[in-house]
Amino acid sequence: MTASVSKMTSLPHELVSQNKKPLLILASASPRRLELLAQIGIVPDRVIPADLDETPRKGELPRLYAKRLAHEKAALVASQCQEPALILGADTVVAVGRRILQKAEDEDTARRHLTLLSGRRHKVFTAIALYPSAILPDSHVSERIVESYVTFTNMQPHHIDSLIAQGDWRGKAGSYALQGAAASYIRQMGGSPSAVIGLPLFETAQLLRGQPSFRVV
């Protein structure tokens, strides 16, 4: 597995002894996650994407895959962090039964995903994990996994072609964006809209409120 994270500079240890608020680090390259955090008034001190091999293990179930990746992203950044910090990792997985629809690399794959999703209900699992850096006292690892479902109406090939042409499929699990043009084909959804878009806001705020060293209003 290849893994890398940008180098961080360390801060003086007085920060810990003075019990100052730790940094919040978002371990994600997803612009959606940053926007969603901003929606609840949270601006991370740093954004440090974790560069991981995201290949599912053979036979890995979607829920466990999402959970594993959220933990791995947060743990990787935490392991290389020299400052008192809380590190938030997240992963969103679109699943049809046991089948995981990963972010498509090309239009043909995205078209296959949308064709599969057309006229049926699927699940979206988003896992979040919050890790303290080694230097942060009185903190613990915490996690939440949120299961949502989304039902697409029947889409004709020209509807799918139009979605593909608009480009929303890029970088999205399942090759669609609930927050984009695909919404005009989504008959129903249940669970957490913010989780489908990448970060369950209620659960994220819960995790942060549960950390003694971090205050969220």
Ligand X SMILES: Cc1cn([C@H]2C[C@H](O)[C@@H](COP(=O)(O)OP(=O)(O)OP(=O)(O)O)O2)c(=O)[nH]c1=O
**Which two tokens mark 16?**
């810990």
Instruction: Strands of the chain (E only): list them.
Output: 23-26, 46-47, 85-96, 99-101, 121-132, 142-152, 186-190
Contact by Cβ (8 Å): 138, 213: yes
Distance CA 74, CA 170 (A): 23
Alpha helices, DSSP H, located in 48-106: 62-79
Does residue 200 touch ligand X according to CB under 6 A?
no
Q: Which is nearer to ligand X, 24 or 94 (CB)?
A: 94
Does residue 193 touch ligand X according to CB under 6 A?
no
Q: Which is nearer to ligand X, 16 or 46 (CB)?
A: 46
Instruction: Strands of 45-141 (E only): list them.
Output: 46-47, 85-96, 99-101, 121-132
Contact residues for 49 (Cβ-Cβ < 8 A; gap 6+): 5, 27, 28, 29
- 91 assigned to active site: yes
Instruction: Out of 15, 23, 28, 75, name the contact with ligand X by CB under 6 A.
Output: 28
Does residue 177 touch ligand X according to CB under 6 A?
yes
Q: Which is nearer to ligand X, 11 or 116 (CB)?
A: 116
Q: Which is nearer to ligand X, 5 or 173 (CB)?
A: 173
At its nearest, how many Å lie between ligand X and the CB of residue 103?
A: 6
At its nearest, how many Å lie between ligand X and the CB of residue 46?
A: 13
Q: Which of residues 84-103 bind ligand X (CB under 6 A)?
A: 90-92, 94, 103
Contact by Cβ (8 Å): 126, 195: yes
User: What is the set of active-site residues?
Assistant: 91
Binding site for ligand X (CB under 6 A): 28-30, 32, 49, 73, 90-92, 94, 103, 124, 171-174, 176-179, 196-198
